[in-house]
Structure 1
């Protein structure tokens, strides 16, 4: 049976942490693409393009080719957007985890080891908009090590840390396409407190929403 250990981040973990984050975020490209395809604006553009071309060209080949190119372009845009977010994150807190998380009393970064190999991570720090709450960030587990309770153990580590530091609750934000993460948080007692559109224009058009959850850790102790 695999041995799982949750421990604090060390400098030697830097590259593997970046790798896990990059792979984890890239996994959301297909589900995001499917989400976009389900939206009425996308379907309207595809249908109008197909109908206009088939009416003007009297041929099925050109409309099919045009729709295929539009779909390919949409997927490449999703890939570009995720790569841009990953690149920005790697230049911000993940570029210097020690400075961002480990040098502050009320912040921390943990990794999960399975038989000596780092396979997951999670972090937390004070939420800037809600005093008295910590924010769970950067939760990710390698695909090969899921369904082993690692994500739950990482999230529980954040909850315990939050309680020990005297904070009232853990906050986190996930996206509409991260359905497995939503199920995990809700199973652990997190309550959905709001949904909001991601502020970028394209995200608003495509109804790409973010979901904020809250776990009251002091209430759990009573």
Structure 2
């Protein structure tokens, strides 16, 4: 049975991991006959968003690992404990947390800086030639992980794609139910809720991403 490391970025689309994407990814992994272990950085979120109103709560502070534990039902570890030798692949669901807590793309665009601990883990998988899947906006982080020219997608948003290209990646437009595969770097990306208007649309691409990652040798 293949074992997959999953990195989460909080809990909630506007300031953490996109919950539907995270759960659908975990479900797809298990339905494909693989197992998973969730990880997250143990640090404060960039900010906390009221998901009912969309407003930032300037007085609140939440921890990325603690919030991610909500999705993982408590079975989660600090990202520093992710040992590449124990896993066959790594997958990162999206949500704004991927661009706010795992890197600074949401704030800094093409000057984005990855979280050092997350980058170390993701680079370890890349350098070990182990497959990886990045969904939604998470490919903005992948642009900092992989060499210049790596092919990836966030869908078809021109401004976001331009920022990612400026970081050295090669963005490829992609439909919501499809994936972009860079076989040279063993990277699979899918737009998910960068394009999805419905949970079924998100599920189609995420499931294809998981299956493509697991099929890589």
* Same fold per superposition (TM over 0.5): no
Q: Give the number of the structure whose residues are more often strand, by fraction.
A: 1
Q: Which has the higher helix share?
A: 1
With structure 1 as the length reference, what TM-score do the two structures score? Answer: 0.31
